[in-house]
Amino acid sequence: MERIYLDHGATTPLAREVLEEMMPYLTEKFGNPSSIHAFGREARKAIEDAREKVAKAINASDPGEIVFTGGGTEADNLAIKGIARAYKHKGNHIITSAVEHHAVLDACLALQKEGFEVTVLPVDEYGMVSVEDVKKAITDKTILITIMHANNEVGTIQPIAEIGEIAREKGIYFHTDAVQTVGKIPVDVKELKVDLLSLSAHKIYGPKGVGALYVRKGLKLEPLANGGGQERKRRPGTENVAGIVGLGKAIELAVAEMPEESARLTKLRDKLIKGVLDKIPYVRLNGHPTKRLPHNANFSVEFVEGESMLLMLDMKGIAASSGSACTSGSLDPSHVLLAMGIPHEVAHGSLRLTLGKANTEEQIDYVLEVLPGIVERLREMSPLYNQKILGGE
């Protein structure tokens, strides 16, 4: 049985070219980048080359604006806590949205315990933040706005440039979590008017455990940890040289392949969405119909338990998810879907299919062949379905 991976929103396989670039730094080029001898200089050069690649990929003015981290979660925490603590003398108010990744929401929650005030903005039925709501939420105490570039669960792309414009006008720092967008759609820190931007390697065929934070020149940032002077004293600790090299190569490849791959994935995504909506009754597409990531399709399947659907798909060789992999241990329905106004019982039946490089049209055909039967079988076991639909209500 062919195994079909449709969970690229959770992670992606390591690209062969990325592994090849990393290998020397896992073996013979093992120097500590802080050492002044040849071994150290070799490692330092590799890090600075990767920094240049990341800066170029997001159109940062200076490679020095890139801080390497242990992943997207750390980058989000460093941005939010680092700015809030560095500028608390200017104000104590932070604005975010109800559909952020938990790395952002929980960082804001932690800051509330330190005396910061947090406004969590609602979203519309598509998971979109209103620019007007952002404007209204601003007070003279607002120091930071943090809104994700695109949602990891439903794929909705937020109006970041418009929010950035408002933040600039008001002199408020603006952070965006771009973990799901870098390498998938164009990301330009100047066009988006952001001061801070988080990204991660393992969403773009790079290694796990490495990410980066763009910090616009001139911004103060309080580090999360204390220790050495690495990353211009913003992220102490000996650098993960091989991981950083991998991120540099992965982002370079992703940006180069983006125009072609994005168009290909959009076509596959649209075929998948149309097929699911045509073949299965009582299903809704979650997220914006057009302003969405090219590789993301998210559905609410009524009268079905999401986990049962995933297990049955897995038995047919199809790997999917019901939302964020970071909360898969939780029995609660997605906070994103609930924020979009989807009822609790419908949110439980969510299915996220996220496409990637290896996916083909034939694989999409197979999913469309298998999924309706799975849903039908699960609905036959649903008392709610029998009562509401078969009972004629």
- Between CA 177 and CA 199 the distance in angstroms is 7
Q: Give 16-254's CATH code, choosing from 2.60.120.560, 3.40.50.920, 3.40.640.10, 3.40.50.300.
A: 3.40.640.10
Dist. CA 128–CA 144, nearest whole Å: 19
Cα–Cα distance measured from residue 247 to residue 21, given in angstroms and rounded to the nearest whole number: 10
Please give the C-alpha separations between residue 161 and each of 147, 149, 175, 192, in angstroms, as whole numbers. 11, 10, 11, 4
Beta bridge partners of 156: 292
Quick: pLDDT tens for 330-351. Answer: 567 899 999 999 999 899 999 9
- The binding site for pyridoxal 5'-phosphate comprises 72-73, 152, 180, 200-202, 238
Give which of 236, 234, 231 is closest to 220, Cα–Cα: 234
Structure tokens at 372: 């309706």
> What's the pLDDT at 388?
78
**Helical pair 16-26 and 241-279, crossing angle rounded to 10 deg:** 160
pLDDT of residue 345: 87
Hey, what are 331's tokens? 């029995």
What would the two tokens of residue 366 be? 């197979």
Work out the end-to-end distance of the chain between its first and last CA atoms, rounded to an integer number of angstroms.
40
Measure the CA–CA gap between 364 and 264, rounded to whole angstroms: 13
Active site residues: 326
Ranges of each domain in the chain = 4-10+258-388, 16-254
Task: For residue 155, give the nearest of 198, 124, 126 by alpha carbon.
Answer: 126
For residue 55, list its beta bridge partners: none
* pLDDT in the model for residue 323: 72
The whole model's pTM is what? 0.96
In terms of C-beta density within 10 A (0-12 exposed, 13-18 middle, 19 or more buried), how is residue 95 classed?
buried
Which amino acid, residue 253? L
Task: Evaluate the CA torsion angle 291, 292, 297, 302 in order and state its sign.
Answer: negative
Directed axis angle between helix 361-380 and helix 306-315, to 10°? 130
Residue type at 240 in one-letter notation: N
Please tell me the predicted confidence (pLDDT) of residue 1.
Answer: 82
Q: Which position has the token pair 């006008």? A: 169
Q: What percent of the chain has pLDDT over 90?
A: 92
Per-residue pLDDT tens digits for 66-114: 999 999 999 999 999 999 999 999 999 999 999 999 999 999 999 999 9
The annotated binding site for [2Fe-2S] cluster is made up of 326
What's the confidence (pLDDT) of residue 331? 65
- 3-state SS, residue 298: strand
- Digitized pLDDT (tens) for each residue of the chain, 393 residues in all: 889 999 999 999 999 999 999 999 999 999 999 999 999 999 999 999 999 999 999 999 999 999 999 999 999 999 999 999 999 999 999 999 999 999 999 999 999 999 999 999 999 999 999 999 999 999 999 999 999 999 999 999 999 999 999 999 999 999 999 999 999 999 999 999 999 999 999 999 999 999 999 999 999 999 999 999 999 999 999 999 999 999 999 999 999 999 999 999 999 999 999 999 999 999 999 999 999 999 999 999 999 999 999 999 999 999 999 875 555 555 678 999 999 999 998 999 999 999 999 999 999 999 999 999 999 999 998 888 887 777 754
Q: pLDDT at position 67, please? A: 98
Beta-bridged to residue 215, according to DSSP, are 196
H or E segment and range at residue 43: helix 38-57
Of 332, 268, 275, 256, residue with least CA distance to 296: 268
**Dihedral-angle region of residue 221 (phi above 0 means left; psi in -120 to 50 means alpha; beta otherwise):** beta
Query: Which CATH topology does 4-10+258-388 take?
Result: Aspartate Aminotransferase, domain 1 (3.90.1150)
